[in-house]
Amino acid sequence: MIFLEILLLNTIAIISAFYIIKFLILRNYQIFAFIQLFNIYGAMSFVLLFSYLRFLTGYIIVLELLTFLVLLFFYIRAFDAANKKYHERFKVIILSFGYTKKTYFNNFLSKKILARGFEAYLVGLGFCYLVNKLFSLLYWPLNPAIAVIPSILFFLASVIKVSKNNKVYKFLI
């Protein structure tokens, strides 16, 4: 039953993220900068923390909604990373062949970003299932060090990965 719940949550999040990124690409909008924090490390930190809180407290629906938002941001970021990779390289070439923006997206770009999105989907699905299964098998009371410390470490890794200069030694000094 846990797998079906996680499968449904991830599937709705990735479908929603695809349509959001399609809207943003066709309208030439940029995503918010804070979504860059939801790379694999940032998403892991929040999913781990929300899964821990879900099994610790009784706020299941609220925490499932927050997990959905984290997964949505994770998939939007994955689609945006693929968009930046292919859009910058091939936009001028493909559009010079006479394609419109919509046909360019439908015929070329959507296939490229869906491949990256499917990879992120499998990662998100696997991690959510692993965390939920882990917490459902543990004995009560749950130790906060199980989830809080790795969540903080994953989030700090996310901040370092997103930093513009990518120089870790500046954070250490």
Taking Cα atoms as reference points, which of 22, 3, 20 lies closest to residue 105? 22
**Domain count for the chain:** 1
| pTM to 2 decimal places | 0.79
pLDDT confidence of residue 146: 64
d(CA 103, CA 46): 36
* Residue 96 in this model has a pLDDT that exceeds 60: yes
Tell me the range of 62-76, 102-116, 148-162 where mean pLDDT is highest: 62-76
d(CA 48, CA 117): 21
129-146 tens-digit pLDDT:
888 877 777 666 666 666
- Residue in the block written with tokens 């919509």: 102
- Residue in the block written with tokens 């629906």: 61
Q: Where are the beta strands (DSSP E) in 43-157?
A: none
117-127 tens-digit pLDDT:
888 888 888 88
What are the structure tokens assigned to 157, written together?
Answer: 């890794």
pLDDT confidence of residue 42: 85
- Return the H-helix or E-strand segment holding 162: helix 148-162
Residue 173 pLDDT grade (very low, low, confident, very high; cuts 50, 70, 90): very low
pLDDT confidence of residue 13: 92
Q: Which domain holds residue 27?
A: 1-170
Stretch 42-66: mean pLDDT, rounded?
Answer: 86
d(CA 160, CA 168): 7
